[in-house]
Amino acid sequence: MRKHVMLQCLGGSLIFALLFFTVIEKANAMGKLCVFSAVQGVVLSQNQPVAGAVINRKFIWAWGKETGADEAVTDANGEFRLPAIFRSSLLGSFLPHQPFIEQTLLILHQGKEYKAWMFDKMNYEENGELQGKPISLVCRLENEPSRKGEIYGICDIR
Amino acid sequence: MNTLNPQQAAAIATGVYRLMNRSISELQARGGELGCEDMFTVNDSSRFTGKSGGLIAWKDITGFGYIAAGQGSYQGEVLLATRGTQSKPDWLSNLNIGLQLGPGGYPVHAGFNQVWKSFAPEIMAFLRNRNPATIHCVGHSLGGALATLGADYLSAAQAGAVKLYTFGAPRTGVGLFAESLTSRVGAANMFRVYHTSDPVPMIPVFPFQHAPAGKRGLPVKNGNHGLISKDAHSMDPSYINAVASLSWPGLEAASREAELSPGKIESWLNAAAASGSPVMAGSAFVLKMIGKVINWILSKAGALAVGAVGLALTATATLLDHLAWMLHRAAQFSKEVAGHVENLVVVIFKFLGRPLVKGMSLTLVFISFVLDLLFQRLRSTALGAVALAGR
């Protein structure tokens, strides 16, 4: 019986080795890791565009142990855009792990801070936050933060 | 006694990742949830930290999970949730593949056990003066291994009836560990879900074995027989989606359907080796079947091969040498087995996308050559991938 178990394990060992190399093969297709997809949106107050509001974006990437931040300012129409943020990691490309990026968008306006978007991204796909749909937001400053699925904040997804 | 359903267990195994670098109150301030809120009461004291990393350097202390008391219909029950690999130090723990005596006194993976030991006192402190009816241990990946060690400790200490739920967990201990744990917890209380394309449940290799011992686990798949992929390992979306609409009995039934009888393996081998039969090069499914065929052929030939391995090969022989030698011996066992080994060689050539060598003879040298071809091909692909990814 034990010999049979050993035989099984040796066969399994070969297969594991083969599979391990196959996993590494996948690294070919995984150069870029998206930690925050592009965001566009509009900030409104009582249905009126808010110009000059600062959109503060932060992320904390668990694998890379990296904290990053950038910002945008709304134009006369209350609109803003932030580009996608990518990182690369050789180990992160092929070592199996649970991707985890804490994402935060804050709106700073007239001395007040509004929670616009709080989300934990658990994949490296571009637009992976919304299952492939680009992030486009309508943020009404009078809204109370609330949960929409896994996303928390004052903004609605359009 | 409650049993978490697959969706509840998956939500908990996902939610615990949110505590790596933040407290529960910080999570709540962000509107985040752990997935257990309707069943268990959590607060900042529920979270515990653990230490992962290398043997000497690059250690990291981070949130590794939480332990919480039940509420409502879960009153009198306890939840222990542990997170999986999220950082490079976690991987260093995974790579510490030595053996240590685990909480129940049987050999387990040293790296997992070190992480477990770093937070075990907090689990013990929580359970002091409590007498839970049931303790649910939940985790994904490394978290699944930690949940398994938790189940080992709690069942050995007779802290309560234990239920274990793991997703994509690696093998945690050796065969004796798996058998002992299974006898204490009961196979019916152990729910091991693994994705057929997920590489993590395939490691570490012998002598490590999965618990529950003697049970196949609950395989889920994406249905396309795709390549083995690290993406299949993610809790969200891979496992979350895979169990989204299934019950435990449903997963058990799917597992039984997926079970391959020797007859089915033989049929597949004959069909795949047949002239003109298409075999997708590089397919994870074909690779898996090659493994099953090797196991099947070796078990068909009985113990003859292993029995004399030590005499025939030097200590420096590789695993590949051993396998080649055993297949060669198996081929000599009978005409029937020789036919299966021939078919296996044909399938390997098809998997490699290479033309078949005419007039092949199943010598030891030839079988070694075929296995080596397989490794060379995968190794060169791997090196190319690493070089490309490093640019």
Rounded Cα–Cα distance for residues B211 and B164 (Å): 10
Q: What share of chain B is helix, strand, coil (3-state, %, to 5)?
A: 50, 15, 35
Domain co-membership, B223 together with B285: no
Domain end (from B225, B258, B291)? B258
Band of pLDDT at residue B309, cut at 50, 70 and 90: very low
Tell whether the model's pLDDT for residue A107 goes beyond 90: yes
Q: With beta carbons under 8 A apart, name residues in chain A contacting B330.
A: none
Q: With beta carbons under 8 A apart, name residues in chain A contacting B231.
A: 26
In a domain, B354, yes or no: yes
Domain co-membership, B217 together with B188: yes
Tell whether the model's pLDDT for residue B387 goes beyond 70: no
What CATH number does residue B196 fall under?
3.40.50.1820
Domain that holds residue B283: 262-389
**Residue A75's closest CA among A56, A55, A50?**
A50
Mean pLDDT of chain A: 86
Tell whether the model's pLDDT for residue B321 goes beyond 70: no
pLDDT at residue B388 in the model: 41
A 10 A CB-CB count for A88 gives 14
In a domain, B1, yes or no: no
Band of pLDDT at residue B174, cut at 50, 70 and 90: very high
Q: Do A122 and B230 touch (CB under 8 A)?
A: no
- Of all residues in chain B, what percent carry a pLDDT higher than 90? 48
Tell whether the model's pLDDT for residue B281 goes beyond 90: no
Domain co-membership, B199 together with B317: no
In a domain, B276, yes or no: yes
Size of interface A-B (CB pairs under 8 A): 193
C-alpha dihedral over B65, B70, B74, B79, to 10 degrees? 20
Model-level pTM?
Answer: 0.76
Q: Identify from B21, B176, B205 which residue to disrupt to test chain A contact, counting A C-beta atoms within 10 A and taking the largest count.
A: B205
> Looking at CA atoms only, how far is residue B193 from chain A in angstroms?
16
Domain co-membership, B285 together with B243: no
Tell whether the model's pLDDT for residue B391 goes beyond 80: no
Q: Do B319 and A5 touch (CB under 8 A)?
A: no
Cβ-proximal residues to B146 (8 Å cutoff; 6+ apart), any chain: B50, B64, B65, B82, B112, B115, B116, B139
Domain co-membership, B14 together with B108: yes
In a domain, B217, yes or no: yes
For B307, the closest chain A residue by CA position comes to A3
Q: Looking at residues A65-70, what average pLDDT do you find? A: 95
Q: Quick check: B387 contacting A, CB < 8 Å?
A: no
Domain boundaries, chain A: 1-28, 33-157
Of A8, A31, A96, the CB nearest to B233: A96
Write out pLDDT tens, residues B145-161: 999 999 999 999 999 99
For A3, the closest chain B residue by CA position comes to B303
Write out pLDDT tens, residues A80-94: 999 999 998 888 877
Q: Looking at residues A59-67, what average pLDDT do you find? A: 94
Phi, psi of A67, deg, nearest 5: -110, 130
- CATH number of the domain at A33-157, out of 1.10.3720.10, 2.60.40.10, 2.40.50.140, 2.40.400.10? 2.60.40.10
Cβ-proximal residues to B177 (8 Å cutoff; 6+ apart), any chain: B102, B104, B106, B107, B108, B152, B209, B211
Q: Looking at residues A26-47, what average pLDDT do you find? A: 83
**Residue A86's closest CA among A50, A121, A44?**
A121
Q: Do A11 and B322 touch (CB under 8 A)?
A: no
Tell whether the model's pLDDT for residue B99 goes beyond 50: yes
Q: Identify from B16, B17, B23, B30 which residue to disrupt to test chain A contact, counting A C-beta atoms within 10 A and taking the largest count.
A: B30
Domain co-membership, B344 together with B254: no
Of A4, A25, A100, the CB nearest to B86: A100
pLDDT at residue B319 in the model: 56
Range with the poorest average pLDDT among A24-38, A119-133, B269-283: A24-38
Q: Do B287 and A23 touch (CB under 8 A)?
A: no
Domain co-membership, B154 together with B95: yes
Domain end (from B236, B258, B280)? B258
The H-or-E segment that residue B8 falls in is helix B6-15
Rg (CA), chain A: 21
pLDDT at residue B93 in the model: 85
Q: Which of B149-163, B238-252, B328-342 has the highest mean pLDDT?
A: B149-163
**Residue B265's closest CA among B285, B287, B289, B281?**
B289
Q: With beta carbons under 8 A apart, name residues in chain A contacting B241.
A: none
Domain co-membership, B42 together with B183: yes
- Alpha carbon of residue B55 to chain centroid: 23
Q: Looking at residues B242-252, what average pLDDT do you find? A: 91
Write out pLDDT tens, residues B56-83: 667 889 999 999 999 999 999 999 999 9
Q: With beta carbons under 8 A apart, name residues in chain A contacting B206.
A: 6, 9-10, 12-13
Per-position DSSP letters for B234-266, written without gaps between them:
-IIIIIHHHTTT--HHHHHHHHHHHPPPHHHHH
Tell whether the model's pLDDT for residue A1 goes beyond 60: no
In a domain, B379, yes or no: yes
A 10 A CB-CB count for B274 gives 11
> Looking at CA atoms only, how far is residue A71 from chain B in angstroms?
20
Domain co-membership, B295 together with B253: no
Domain co-membership, B331 together with B209: no
Number of structural domains (chain B) is 2
- Of all residues in chain A, what percent carry a pLDDT higher than 90? 72
Range with the poorest average pLDDT among B143-152, B282-291, B314-323: B314-323
Tell whether the model's pLDDT for residue B46 goes beyond 70: yes
Band of pLDDT at residue B189, cut at 50, 70 and 90: very high
Domain end (from B226, B243, B258)? B258
Band of pLDDT at residue B353, cut at 50, 70 and 90: confident
Domain co-membership, B248 together with B269: no
Q: Which residue has the higher pLDDT, B246 or B381?
A: B246
ipTM over 0.85: no
Q: Which of A92-96, A109-113, B93-97, B346-350 has the highest mean pLDDT?
A: A109-113
Domain co-membership, B125 together with B234: yes
Q: Quick check: B282 contacting A, CB < 8 Å?
A: yes
Mean pLDDT of chain B: 84
pLDDT at residue B282 in the model: 65
Q: Which residue has the higher pLDDT, B352 or B143?
A: B143
B129: amino acid identity, one letter: N
